[in-house]
């Protein structure tokens, strides 16, 4: 690990506008620092700045950036109104990691692309301009949607996929004040600047995540992976489906493990919304989601896998509803 300066921040003001790298749970950042993929000069320990509460916000909820994943998943209001979020969080990591990992830190976690971790290989995300080893390399876990010629890495998390489907809003503050970013737009596509995972600007800090009013309906988070627990998603589907008189009155879908960001396709939701469920309709929704999907070789299987997973989730969400 490279040497760094450390200080304990007492409030967000000790961090905002500085060049210090915030460290909260540290479960991803410290790992990357041990590998020397991350080499911050200065760490700001944000574990004591507050921002660790979950509070009502009208009909919605405001979740502080320092709320631990375990607390968020177990919170009675979240379990009641936004069970998709609890399920997504509980599908990720281990009990030990969730006890440390925070809401803000989870959003900031970086890709698990093998080459990003391997200092001996080119990687545009780690060393801009050096090339992408995953293209034409081992790319079983990589993106099938929204990738670029410079990077085919995926965003690895689960929590943000649920937040995207729930239309959550990320509240951030920088030297020029506060602003809001839709959770769906927080992470970005790699384009020609894959070193930038998300839209957070230098000097900005995540303060909280706002969840809009509960949607009701069925909340399903289906995660397909190489082992049953403590593994990243190959494909995940986050779904909220509200049934009314035999038709899907509200549909929200987001996909994990397939792109550089949680993948949301409004056209697929619009296709389903207001319709009676049927396998044929689900298949057409999958067509819309997979519009432009491209395999890289080892990850070609993700294309049919996403289709099958979406079909299964929609069948489960709508079964028994007449």
- Lookup result for tokens 């069948």: 315
Q: Does 312 bind other proteins (CB under 8 A)?
A: no
CB of 151 to other proteins, least distance (A): 23
Q: Which of 14, 45, 150, 204 binds other proteins (CB under 8 A)?
A: 45
Please give the sequence-ordered ranges of beta strands (E in DSSP) within the chain, or none if there are none: 5-8, 21-23, 42-45, 54-57, 60-64, 169-174, 177-182, 205-211, 218-224, 235-244, 247-256
Among 10, 34, 279, 291, binds other proteins (CB under 8 A): 34
Among 12, 40, 83, 156, binds other proteins (CB under 8 A): 83
Residue 303's closest CA among 292, 313, 314? 292
Q: Find residue 103's DSSP bridge partners.
A: none
Closest by CA to 105, choosing from 42, 11, 25, is: 25
Q: How far, in Å, are 149, 178, 179, 222, 272 from residue 51 at the CA level? A: 39, 15, 16, 30, 38
Q: How many residues bind other proteins (CB under 8 A)?
A: 35
| Both tokens assigned to 134 | 């995953």
95 forms part of the interface with other proteins (CB under 8 A): yes
| Given 1, 13, 119, 315, the residue binding other proteins (CB under 8 A) | 1
Return the half-sphere exposure (C-beta side, CA atoms, 13 A cut-off) of residue 185: 6
123 binds other proteins (CB under 8 A): no
DSSP bridge pairs for 173: 178, 205
- Taking CB under 8 A as the criterion, the residue among 96, 130, 201, 278 binding other proteins is 96
Asked if 215 touches other proteins (CB under 8 A), the answer is no
Cα distances (angstroms) measured from residue 292 to each of 215, 302, 303: 30, 13, 11
Q: How far is the CB of 214 from other proteins (least distance, A)?
A: 14
Instruction: Tell me, residue by residue from 230 to 259, as one string, x for binding to other proteins by CB under 8 A and - for no binding.
Output: x-----------------------------
- If the CB atoms of residues 31 and 300 are measured against other proteins, the closer one turns out to be 31
Q: Does 36 bind other proteins (CB under 8 A)?
A: no
User: Using CB under 8 A, which residues numbered 125 to 184 contact other proteins?
Assistant: none
State yes or no: residue 56 binds other proteins (CB under 8 A): no
For other proteins, which residue of 11, 79, 213, 274 counts as binding (CB under 8 A)? Answer: 79
Long-range own/partner contacts, residues 113-120 (CB < 8 A, 24 or more apart): 113/141, 113/142, 113/152, 113/153, 113/154, 114/138, 114/141, 116/37, 116/153, 117/32, 117/35, 117/37, 119/35, 119/36, 119/37
CA 75 to each of CA 28, 50, 61, 107, 113: distance values in angstroms, whole numbers, following the listed order? 23, 18, 11, 19, 32
Among 56, 177, 228, 320, binds other proteins (CB under 8 A): 228
Binding other proteins (rule: CB under 8 A), the pick from 37, 44, 66, 91 is 91
Least separation in angstroms between residue 29's CB and other proteins is 9
Print the binding letters for residues 7-26 with other proteins: x by CB under 8 A, - otherwise. Answer: -x--------------x-xx
- Residues at the interface with other proteins (CB under 8 A): 1, 3-6, 8, 23, 25-27, 30-31, 34, 43, 45, 47, 70, 73-74, 79, 83, 86-87, 90-91, 93-97, 99-100, 228-230
């Amino acid at each position: 690990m490279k040497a760094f300066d450390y200080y304990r921040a007492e409030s967000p003001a000790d961090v905002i506008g500085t060049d210090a790298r915030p460290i909260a749970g540290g479960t991803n950042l410290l790992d990357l620092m041990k590998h020397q993929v991350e080499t911050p000069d200065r760490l700001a320990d944000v574990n004591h700045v507050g921002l660790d509460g979950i509070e009502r916000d009208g009909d919605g909820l405001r979740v502080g950036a320092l709320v631990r994943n375990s607390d968020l998943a177990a919170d009675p209001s979240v379990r009641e109104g936004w069970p998709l979020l609890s399920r997504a969080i509980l599908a990720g990591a281990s009990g030990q990691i969730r006890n440390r990992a925070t809401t803000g830190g989870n959003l900031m976690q970086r890709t698990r692309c093998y080459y990003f971790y391997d200092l001996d290989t080119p990687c545009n995300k780690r060393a801009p301009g050096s090339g992408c080893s995953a293209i034409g390399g081992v790319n079983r876990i990589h993106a099938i949607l929204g990738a670029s010629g410079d990077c085919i890495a995926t965003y690895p998390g689960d929590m943000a996929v649920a937040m995207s489907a729930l239309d959550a809003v990320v509240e951030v503050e920088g030297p020029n004040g506060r602003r809001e970013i839709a959770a769906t737009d927080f992470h970005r596509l790699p384009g020609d600047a894959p070193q930038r995972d998300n839209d957070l600007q230098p000097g900005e800090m995540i303060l909280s995540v706002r969840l809009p009013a509960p949607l009701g309906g069925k909340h399903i988070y289906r995660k397909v992976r190489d082992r049953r627990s403590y593994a990243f998603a190959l494909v995940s589907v986050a779904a909220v489906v509200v049934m009314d008189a035999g038709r899907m009155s509200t549909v929200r879908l987001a996909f994990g493990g397939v792109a550089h960001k949680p993948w949301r396709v409004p056209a697929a939701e619009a296709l389903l919304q207001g319709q009676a469920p049927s396998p044929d309709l689900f298949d057409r929704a999958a067509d819309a989601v997979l519009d432009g999907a491209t395999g890289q070789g080892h990850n070609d299987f993700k294309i049919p896998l996403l289709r099958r997973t979406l079909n299964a989730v929609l069948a489960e969400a709508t079964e028994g509803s007449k």
